[in-house]
Amino acid sequence: MKKLIRVTVNDVRYEVAVKPNQTLVDMIRYDLGLTGTKNGCGEGDCGACTVILDGTPVNSCLVLAMQADGRTITTIEGVEGEKGLHPLQKAFIEKGAVQCGFCTPGMVLSAKSVLDENPAPSEEEIREGISGNLCRCTGYLQIIDAVKSVGK
């Protein structure tokens, strides 16, 4: 039996009927059509499904959609502003931190969360902040450089 929940995703309010066992990643992708959030491992190990839930990065494959009722979510589609790409997205492109792109949405959201908490993070803080996100293509040096270049 489905339950109606209310969520705000990327500053847009939604009412969505979800199943009790439906994950947040599946609701975002299939009910809302926001396919930037990737479903990688389904076990919380890869970070491809990272979204920001009430200001905290979470693996949306481990969160039930019902747990998001009344909460605020930011997906990669919500990072770009009216003036175009977010500075972090631009830095990922400029620093070569994007290759296949599968990990990129989750990586950008984790990195954004680091910068939101501390606009001038150390390399260690950046590494810790993105530690839940795996990248098999780029490696982490370019990603760390991109985040550092946006920091103040």
What CA–CA distances, in Å, run from 122 to 61, 70, 118, 131?
29, 34, 9, 14
Has residue 136 got a pLDDT over 80?
A: yes
**Cα–Cα distance for residue pair 76/101, rounded to 1 Å:** 12
pLDDT digits (tens, 9 = 90+) for 28-41: 999 999 999 999 99
**pLDDT of res. 15:** 98
What CATH superfamily classification does 3-78 receive? Beta-grasp domain (3.10.20.30)
**Cα–Cα distance for residue pair 72/7, rounded to 1 Å:** 6
In percent, how much of the chain has pLDDT > 70? 100
Collapsed DSSP state (helix, strand, coil) of residue 86: coil
Number of Cβ within a 10 Å radius of residue 32: 18
Categorize the per-residue pLDDT at 20 as very low, low, confident or very high, splitting at 50, 70 and 90. Answer: very high
**pLDDT of res. 54:** 98
pLDDT digits (tens, 9 = 90+) for 100-111: 889 999 999 999
pLDDT digits (tens, 9 = 90+) for 60-83: 999 999 999 999 999 999 999 888
Residue intervals in the chain for CATH 3.10.20.30: 3-78
Residue intervals in the chain for CATH 1.10.150.120: 87-150
CATH code of the region 87-150: 1.10.150.120
**Cα–Cα distance for residue pair 71/56, rounded to 1 Å:** 11
Categorize the per-residue pLDDT at 138 as very low, low, confident or very high, splitting at 50, 70 and 90. Answer: confident
The mean of the pLDDT values for the chain is 96
pTM for this one?
0.94
